[in-house]
Amino acid sequence: MDEAGNILLAERGAWANIRAMPNRVKTLLFSTWVYRQRNAVERFFHKLKQFRAVATRYDKRDDNFLPPVQLASIRIRSRSYESVS
Protein backbone atom coordinates (compact mmCIF):
# COMPACT_ATOMS: atom_id res chain seq x y z
CA MET A 1 0.00 0.00 0.00
CA ASP A 2 1.08 3.57 -0.57
CA GLU A 3 0.92 6.50 1.85
CA ALA A 4 -2.78 7.10 1.16
CA GLY A 5 -3.66 3.47 1.90
CA ASN A 6 -4.44 2.59 -1.71
CA ILE A 7 -3.62 -0.87 -2.98
CA LEU A 8 -0.82 -0.71 -5.53
CA LEU A 9 -1.36 -2.29 -8.92
CA ALA A 10 1.51 -4.74 -8.39
CA GLU A 11 -0.22 -6.02 -5.27
CA ARG A 12 -3.36 -6.61 -7.32
CA GLY A 13 -1.44 -8.71 -9.85
CA ALA A 14 -1.01 -6.11 -12.60
CA TRP A 15 2.16 -5.96 -14.66
CA ALA A 16 3.52 -3.65 -17.30
CA ASN A 17 3.15 -4.83 -20.86
CA ILE A 18 5.43 -2.58 -22.86
CA ARG A 19 7.58 -3.89 -25.65
CA ALA A 20 11.25 -3.67 -24.66
CA MET A 21 13.85 -1.98 -26.82
CA PRO A 22 15.77 -4.52 -28.91
CA ASN A 23 19.11 -3.56 -27.38
CA ARG A 24 17.96 -3.92 -23.78
CA VAL A 25 19.96 -6.42 -21.75
CA LYS A 26 17.24 -7.41 -19.28
CA THR A 27 13.94 -7.97 -21.06
CA LEU A 28 10.64 -7.87 -19.22
CA LEU A 29 7.70 -10.23 -19.63
CA PHE A 30 5.71 -9.28 -22.72
CA SER A 31 2.46 -10.70 -24.08
CA THR A 32 1.41 -9.83 -27.61
CA TRP A 33 -2.22 -10.77 -26.85
CA VAL A 34 -2.42 -8.36 -23.88
CA TYR A 35 -0.68 -5.71 -25.98
CA ARG A 36 -3.32 -6.07 -28.73
CA GLN A 37 -6.17 -5.88 -26.22
CA ARG A 38 -4.71 -2.76 -24.59
CA ASN A 39 -4.24 -1.19 -28.01
CA ALA A 40 -7.88 -1.89 -28.90
CA VAL A 41 -9.05 -0.21 -25.69
CA GLU A 42 -6.83 2.82 -26.33
CA ARG A 43 -8.15 3.14 -29.88
CA PHE A 44 -11.73 2.93 -28.61
CA PHE A 45 -11.15 5.74 -26.11
CA HIS A 46 -9.57 7.83 -28.86
CA LYS A 47 -12.69 7.34 -31.02
CA LEU A 48 -14.90 8.09 -28.01
CA LYS A 49 -13.15 11.41 -27.47
CA GLN A 50 -14.06 12.47 -31.02
CA PHE A 51 -17.61 13.05 -29.81
CA ARG A 52 -17.92 16.59 -28.50
CA ALA A 53 -20.30 15.82 -25.62
CA VAL A 54 -17.88 13.23 -24.32
CA ALA A 55 -14.67 15.17 -24.93
CA THR A 56 -15.85 18.40 -23.32
CA ARG A 57 -17.89 16.67 -20.62
CA TYR A 58 -20.45 19.37 -20.03
CA ASP A 59 -22.39 17.12 -17.65
CA LYS A 60 -20.40 16.61 -14.48
CA ARG A 61 -22.72 14.11 -12.82
CA ASP A 62 -22.25 10.45 -13.67
CA ASP A 63 -25.93 9.79 -14.33
CA ASN A 64 -26.00 12.64 -16.87
CA PHE A 65 -22.65 11.76 -18.46
CA LEU A 66 -23.30 8.05 -19.00
CA PRO A 67 -25.97 8.36 -21.76
CA PRO A 68 -23.73 10.35 -24.16
CA VAL A 69 -20.95 7.81 -23.61
CA GLN A 70 -23.35 4.95 -24.29
CA LEU A 71 -24.73 6.64 -27.41
CA ALA A 72 -21.24 7.35 -28.72
CA SER A 73 -20.23 3.75 -28.00
CA ILE A 74 -23.22 2.44 -29.95
CA ARG A 75 -22.40 4.70 -32.87
CA ILE A 76 -18.76 3.59 -32.85
CA ARG A 77 -19.78 -0.06 -32.71
CA SER A 78 -22.33 0.33 -35.49
CA ARG A 79 -19.72 1.92 -37.77
CA SER A 80 -17.76 -1.34 -37.73
CA TYR A 81 -20.78 -3.16 -39.18
CA GLU A 82 -21.39 -0.78 -42.06
CA SER A 83 -21.01 -2.17 -45.54
CA VAL A 84 -18.05 -0.90 -47.53
CA SER A 85 -19.67 -1.52 -50.93
pLDDT digits over 4-44, tens only? 556 777 788 877 787 888 888 887 778 889 889 989 999 99
- Counting every residue written for the chain, the total comes to 85
Percent of the chain with pLDDT over 70: 87
Given this model, what pLDDT does residue 85 score?
Answer: 56
Counts of helices then strands in the chain (DSSP H, E): 3, 0
Q: Quote the radius of gyration of the chain (alpha carbons, Å).
A: 18
CA distance 47 to 76: 7
